[in-house]
Structure 1
Amino acid sequence: MYYSSYALLTIILIVICNYDVFVKDDYFEILEDVGPYRHYLCAVVVFLITDTMWGVLYEYHLVALCYIDTVLYFITLSTVLYLWTRYVVIYLKTEDKIGTIIMKSGALAAIVTIILLIVNFFHPIFFKFTLDGVYVPKVMRNVLVTIEVVLYFSSSMLAFYVSRKQKNNYRFRVVGGVGLLLTVFGVMQFYVDKLPLSTIGYTIGTSLLHSFVLEDEKKESNRRLKRLLEHEKKQYEELEKTRKIAFVDALTGVHSKHSYFEYEKVLNKRIENKEGLQFAVIVFDLNNLKKINDELGHDCGDKYIKDGCKLICNVFAHSPIFRVGGDEFVAVLQGRDYLNREYLTKTFSRMVMNNTEINGVVVAWGMDEYIVEKDDDYQAVFERADKKMYENKRQLKEKKVFNDV
C-alpha cells in the first residue's frame, strides 16, 4: 500500500502547490505559456491517479480492474510525455525543425502506445497478468520507457542549448534540469518497475517548475508591469505639465488664450444645443501698459499685468479668468457671479476709480449678457462686451486727463 500512499500524497502536493494554475486565472493574465503547462499538470495528476489505483488494485488482487488501470496508466504516461515535449517546445519558443521533431515524436509515441495497447489485449506485448494475478512487463513496455527516456533527455538538451543561445536564461536551464531529472528517474523505473520512481520524478519536477519557472515568470511580469505603470505615470505627469503650459498663462497663473478658445467651443456647442444657458462676458483691458513698459521697463510692466489680473480675480473669484492678450483678459460669469454681476461690476468699477486717484492699476472693462432669443454664438456676446470695454477705456482716459489738469 505504500506505493499507492506515495502516489496519493504526490497528487495532494501537486494540487496544493499548483492550485493557482489549476483554478485561478492569475497566471493566465500575465503569462502566455501557462495553458500548455496546465495541460501537462492535468495529465500528470491523471497519471498519478491511475498509479494510485494500480497499487490498491494490485494489492487486493483485483486483476480485471488492475488490467484496465494498467492500460490507462500507459496511455496517461505517453500523454504526459507528449504534453511535456509540447510545453517545452512552446515555452522555449523553438518551434523549428528540432523542436517540431521532438514534439511530433511525443505525439507519435502516444498514438503508437494506444494502438499497441489494443493489440496487447489480444496478444500480450506490453504487459500481462498471470493466472495468480502477478504483473509481468513485456518488451513493448520497455520500448515505451526507452522512448520516454530518450524524449525527456532530448527536451532537456534542447532547453540547455536554447538557454546558452539566449544569454543563459536560467529558467530554461531549470526546464532542462527537470527534463534531465525525469530522464534519470525514467531509467531507474526501467529497472525497478515495482517502485513509484516516476512519481518521485514528477513530484520533484513539478515543484521545481512551479518555484523557479512559473513564480519567477510571475515576478518578472510584475516587475515589467510596475515599470510600465511607472512609465505611464511619468508620461501622465509630462502630459499634465504640457497641458498646464498650454492651458495656464505662465505670467499670471490664470487660464491661457488656448484654454479660452477651448472654453468658447464648449459654450458654442451648448448654445447650439439650446441648453438655456445663463452667462455674461466681461472684457478687460489694462490702461497705460505700453507707457509703463517704455518708461519703466518690462519687469514693471509684468508686475502691472499681474496686479491687474489679481484685481480681476479677487472680485470675480468664482468665474474662469482668461488672459487673451498682452494686457487683455476675459471673464465668463456663470452661477453665483452671474447672479451677482451688477454688484460685482459696481465693486470692480469703484476699485478701478480709486486706483485712478492713487496711480494704481487701471483696468477698463465692458460686460454684456447672453440673450437666448438674440445670440447664435458666443462671439456675438463678446463683441458687445468688447465694444463697451472700449467705451469705458475712453471714459477712464478722459477722467485721467481731467485729474491731471
Structure 2
Amino acid sequence: MSYSIIGIIAIMVHLIINRDMLWHYSDYTDVPAYREYRDYIFGMLFFCAADVLWGFFNDLKMIVPLYAITVIYFVTMMAGFLLWTRYVAAYMEGDNHSVFRRVLTAVGVTLFVCELVILTVNFFVPIKFYFDENAVYHAGMARYATLGMQVVLFIITSIYTFVTKSPSESATKRLRRSVGLFGILMAALIILQIYYPMLPLYSIGYLMSSCLLHSFVVEEEKDEYRKNLKEMLDRTQQQSLELGDARRKIYTDPMTGVGSKQAYLEEIDSLDAKIRGGKADDFGVIVFDVNDLKIINDTKGHDVGDVYIYNASMLICEFFDSCPVYRIGGDEFVVILQGEPYKSRRERLAAFEAQMDSNLHAADKVVISSGLAEYESGADTHYLAVFERADQQMYMRKRALKKKKKKKNPTRQTSSRSRR
C-alpha cells in the first residue's frame, strides 16, 4: 500500500492546483495552449490512478489483475507522454517553431503507437514485462527502450526551449525555461525509474514537474491573460465613453441641450418603419415655432436671440417633460408624444398655450406658437402626414397670437411689422 500512497497524493495535488482549469475551463479558453494542457492534466490523472491500482494489486499478488493493470499503466504512461508533446507543440507557437512542432507531435504519436504494438506482442512474447509464478515483476528490453526514448525526447525538447526564442509576448524567457526544466526533471526521474522499477518514480516526476509547470507557466499565462483582459476591458470602456460622447454630440443640440436634427430624423425613420409594418402605436406630434425671433436678433443682437431660443426650449421641456424634444431648425422645435404623455397631450398643450397667452402680455417673455396632430391609423401612411397637420395647426396658432398681440398694442404691432 505504501507504493500507492504517492499516486494518491499526486492525484489530490493535481485536482487541487488545477481545479480552475478542470472545472471552470470556460474562463481560460483564451490562455495559450490551454486545451492541450487540460488534456495533459487528465492524462496524468489517469496514469496516477493506474499507478495506484498497480501498487494495490501488487500487494495482493493477483497475477491476472496485476498483468492487466500493468498494461493499462504503460498505455496511460505513453498517452500522458503523447499529450505532453501536444501541449509543448501548441505552446511553442509561431512559424519559427513549425518544424519542431510537427516533428515533436509525430514522434509522440509514433511512440504511442509503438507502445500499443509492443504491449500486444507482449501477450505472446514477454518483451516488455512479465510476472513469475510468485507475481514478481520482471522488466523486458522493450521497457528500457521506450523509457529511454522518452528520456531522449524530454532532453531534446528541454534544450530546444532553452536555446530558442518565441515570437509570442506571453511566452517569456522565464516561462520557456520552466517548460525546459519540466523536461529535465522528468528525464532524470525516468532514468531512476529504469533502475528502480518498483518505486513510483514516474508518478513523483509527474507530481513535481507538473507543480513546476503549473506555478511558472500556467499561472503566469493566466495572469497575463487577466492582465490583457483588463487592458482590453479598459480600452473598451474608454472607447465606450468616447463613443458615448460622440453620440451625445451628434444627437444633442449644442445650443439648447435637446435632441438634435439627426436624432429627430432617426426617430422619424423608426416611426415610418413601424407605420409601414402596421406596428405603430398611437402618437402625437406638436410643432413649435418661436415668435418674434427675427425682431430680437435685429434689435438686440444674435446673442440675445440665442438666449431667447434657449429659454424657449426650457419652457417646452418644462411642460412636456418625459417627452423627446427636438430642435429641427433655428427657432423650430418638435415634441413627439407616446405612451402616457400622449394620453395627457391635450391637457399639457392647453396648459402650455395658457402660459403663452400670459407671456404675450408680459415684457421680455418668450412666446411660442404650437400645433398638435395625432397619428390616424389606416389613414396616415407616413410620419410626414402627421407633421404637416401639426405644422398647419401651429401656423393657425401663430396668427391667433399675433391678433391678440395687435389688439393689446396695435401701435407697437404696426411698428414691428414695419421693421420686419
Using the size of structure 2 for normalisation, the TM-score is 0.85
Cross-structure match for 2:371:
366
1:375 aligns with 2:380: yes
Q: Which moved more, 1:136-145 or 1:124-133?
A: 124-133
Q: Deviations over 1:6-28 (max 9, x none)?
A: 22322232233334444443455
User: Mapping of 1:334-353 within 5 angstroms?
Assistant: 334-335=338-339, 337-353=341-357
Greater mean deviation of Cα atoms: 255-264 or 58-67 = 58-67
CA drift of 1:400 comes to 4.3
Quick one: distance in 2 between partners of 1:244 and 1:397? 37
Q: Give the corresponding residue for 1:389.
A: 394
Other-structure match for 2:313: 309
% of aligned pairs identical? Answer: 36
Partner of 1:7: 7
Kept in 1: contact 2:372–2:394 (CA 8 A): yes
Query: 1:30·1:218 contact (CA, 8 Å) conserved in 2?
Result: no
Between stretches 149-158 and 29-38, larger displacement belongs to 29-38
Partner of 1:96: 98
Matched, 1:83 2:83: yes
Aligned to 2:247: 243
Could you tell me how far apart the structure 2 residues matched to 1:199 and 1:336 are? 73
1:249: Cα distance to partner? Answer: 1.5
> What is the CA–CA distance in structure 2 between the aligned matches of 1:238 and 1:15, rounded to whole Å?
45
CA deviation digits over 1:251-288, x for unaligned, max 9? 11222222222222333344444557544433221122
Say which SS state the counterpart of residue 287 (structure 2) adopts.
strand
Cα deviations by residue, 1:194-234 (Å, 9 ceiling, x for unpaired): 32222211111122222332233223223322222222222
More deviation, 269-278/99-108: 269-278
How many residue pairs align between the two structures? 405
Counterpart residue identity of residue 120, structure 1: N
Pairing partner for 1:234 from 234, 238, 243: 238
Q: CA deviation at 1:340?
A: 4.4
* Contact 1:281–1:330, Cα closer than 8 Å, also in 2: yes
Residue segments in structure 1 that go unaligned for 5+ positions in a row: none
1:71 aligns to what?
71
Change (3 A) 1:160 1:383: same
Match of 2:415 in 1: none
Please state whether the residue corresponding to 2:288 is helix, strand or coil: strand
Match of 2:256 among 252, 258, 263: 252
Q: 2:324 aligns with which of 297, 314, 320?
A: 320
- Structure 2 counterpart of 1:225: 229
Structure 2: any 5+ residue segments left out of the alignment? 412-420
Please, which moves more after superposition, 200-209 or 14-23?
14-23
Q: 2:125, 2:281 → 1: CA distance?
A: 94
**2:326–2:335: 8 Å Cα contact kept in structure 1?**
yes
Once residues 353 and 119 of structure 1 are traced to their aligned partners in structure 2, the CA distance between those partners, rounded to angstroms, is 107
The change in CA–CA distance for 1:190 and 1:286 in structure 2 (over 3 A counts) is same
Change beyond 3 A, Cα 1:148–1:247 = same
Partner letter of residue 13 of structure 1?
Answer: V
C-alpha separation in 1, matches of 2:288 and 2:91: 69
Deviation track 1:40-72 (CA, whole Å, cap 9, x = no partner) reads: 233323322333333333334334443333333
Structure 1 residue 114: deviation in Å? 2.8
Amino acid aligned to 2:261: K
CA contact (8 A) 1:27 1:218 kept: no
Q: Which 4+ stretches in 1 moved above 6 angstroms? A: none
**Deviation readout 1:338-386 (Å, 9 max, x if unpaired):** 4444444443333323333333222223333444464333322322332
Aligned pairs for 1:14-29 within 5 A: 14-26=14-26, 29=29
Farther-moved stretch of structure 1 (210-219 vs 331-340):
331-340
Question: Structure 1 residues 150, 381: closer, same or farther in 2, change over 3 A?
Answer: same
| AA at the equivalent of 1:310 | M
- 1:243 and 1:80, CA in 2 relative to 1: closer, same or farther beyond 3 A? same
Q: How big is each residue's C-alpha offset from its partner over 1:115-148, in whole Å with a ceiling of 9 and x where there is no partner? A: 2333334443333434444433233322222111
- TM-score normalised according to structure 1 size: 0.88
* Secondary structure of the structure 1 residue equivalent to 2:153: helix
Distance 1:351 1:66, change over 3 A: closer
Aligned counterpart in structure 2 of residue 145 of structure 1, from 140, 144, 147: 147
SS of the aligned residue for 2:335 comes to strand
Partner of 2:267: 263
1:123-162 aligned within 5 A? 123-162=125-164
Deviations 1:278-330 (A, max 9, x none): 44433221122223223322221111101122222223335332211111112
Q: Which stretch has the larger CA shift, 200-209 or 271-280?
A: 271-280
Give the AA of the match of 1:390: Y
The root-mean-square deviation of aligned C-alpha atoms, in Å, is 2.9
Question: How many angstroms apart in 2 are the aligned matches of 1:72 and 1:370?
Answer: 79
